[in-house]
């Protein structure tokens, strides 16, 4: 019962915070403190939400942008895990290539937009590979660090008991790296999603980034704000999905607090 009350208080506080934020936002725009040409009030956004989504341009560009994000993140997840396992499982390979991963990870992605544009054009592959590079590195590095944190005594005991390499991988290595992979996946998704939006805003001709630039140029604040809200809701929903997936797949990994 105390736990339920605590949970109810948290939900109430969160709902009250959101309501207060929306009320301040509404008042700020209605009172003229924030010009409506730059930001629409929440009531206006809600009233025009579905009508904006029914605009032919939005119906064409928005699903494409979300689909590119999902497909790219799938490639990011697979590529990051494979890269991390290949590099982290061999000390020599790790010593050679891990510094390059860290170096590339530290480079601001926006400076590479033109490079990807020149090599891949303005279509899907330009957005895919730009997002892939941005999101793959955190998962690869998390996987490498998780491999290094495996207790060597586990591996020695397994070898002494005659366990095969495949058995060691599935019973020791994989369970040890899954929590780090899943925690890195949420960071990777945010980086991937942001990179794709940047790519579409810079020189793209489709997707959510294109819609943002298009409606910004037209000073169509309501349409722009609806796109922003949809983008935010999609990002939050996908992050929540990854968080629930992480909790479900790592229920055995209970940490005392």
What is the DSSP secondary-structure string of 142-180? HHHHHHHTS-HHHHHHHHHTT--HHHHIIIIIHHHHHHH
Domain ranges of the chain: 1-34, 46-249
pLDDT, position 73 = 94
131 exposed, middle or buried (CB, 10 Å; 0-12, 13-18, 19+)?
buried
| 257 has pLDDT over 50 | no
Asked if residue 217 lies in contact with residue 161, where contact means CB atoms within 8 angstroms, the answer is: no
Higher-confidence residue of 116 and 2: namely 116
| 234 has pLDDT over 90 | yes
Taking only the tens place, the pLDDT of each residue in 43-53 is 999 999 999 99
Asked if residue 195 lies in contact with residue 22, where contact means CB atoms within 8 angstroms, the answer is: no
Cα–Cα distance for residue pair 35/203, rounded to 1 Å? 29
Taking only the tens place, the pLDDT of each residue in 62-83 is 999 999 999 999 999 999 999 9
What number is the average pLDDT over the span 104-118?
80
What number is the average pLDDT over the span 22-33?
89
Cα–Cα distance for residue pair 82/85, rounded to 1 Å? 5
Cα–Cα distance for residue pair 40/224, rounded to 1 Å? 9
Taking only the tens place, the pLDDT of each residue in 3-19 is 777 888 888 888 899 99
pLDDT, position 1 = 58
Instruction: Please name the CATH architecture into which domain 46-249 falls.
Output: Orthogonal Bundle (1.10)
Cα–Cα distance for residue pair 98/216, rounded to 1 Å? 41
From its phi and psi, is residue 207 left (phi > 0), alpha (psi between -120 and 50) or beta?
Answer: left
Closest CA to 236 of 12, 14, 8: 14
Element housing 114 (H / E): helix 113-120
| 206 has pLDDT over 70 | yes
pTM of the model: 0.82
């Amino acid at each position: 019962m105390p736990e339920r009350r605590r949970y109810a208080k948290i939900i109430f506080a969160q709902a009250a915070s959101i309501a207060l934020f929306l009320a301040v936002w509404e008042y700020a725009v209605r009172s003229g403190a924030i010009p409506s040409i730059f930001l629409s009030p929440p009531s206006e956004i809600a009233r025009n939400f579905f009508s904006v989504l029914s605009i032919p341009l939005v119906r064409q560009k928005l699903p494409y942008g979300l689909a590119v994000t999902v497909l790219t993140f799938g490639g990011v997840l697979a590529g990051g895990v494979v890269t991390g396992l290949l590099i982290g499982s061999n000390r020599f390979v790790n010593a050679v290539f891990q510094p390059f991963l860290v170096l590339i990870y530290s480079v601001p992605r926006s400076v590479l937009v033109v490079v990807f544009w020149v090599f891949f054009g303005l279509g899907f592959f330009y957005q895919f590979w730009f997002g892939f590079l941005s999101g793959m590195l955190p998962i690869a590095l998390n996987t490498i660090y998780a491999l290094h944190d495996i207790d060597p005594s586990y591996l020695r005991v397994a070898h002494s008991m005659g366990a095969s390499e495949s058995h060691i991988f599935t019973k020791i290595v994989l369970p040890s790296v899954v929590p780090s992979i899943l925690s890195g996946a949420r960071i990777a998704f945010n980086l991937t999603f942001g990179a794709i939006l940047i790519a579409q805003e810079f020189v793209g001709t489709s997707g959510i980034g294109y819609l943002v630039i298009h409606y910004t140029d037209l000073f169509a604040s309501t349409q722009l704000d609806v796109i922003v809200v949809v983008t935010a809701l999609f990002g939050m929903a996908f992050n929540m999905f990854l968080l629930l997936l992480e909790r479900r797949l790592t229920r055995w990994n209970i940490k005392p607090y």
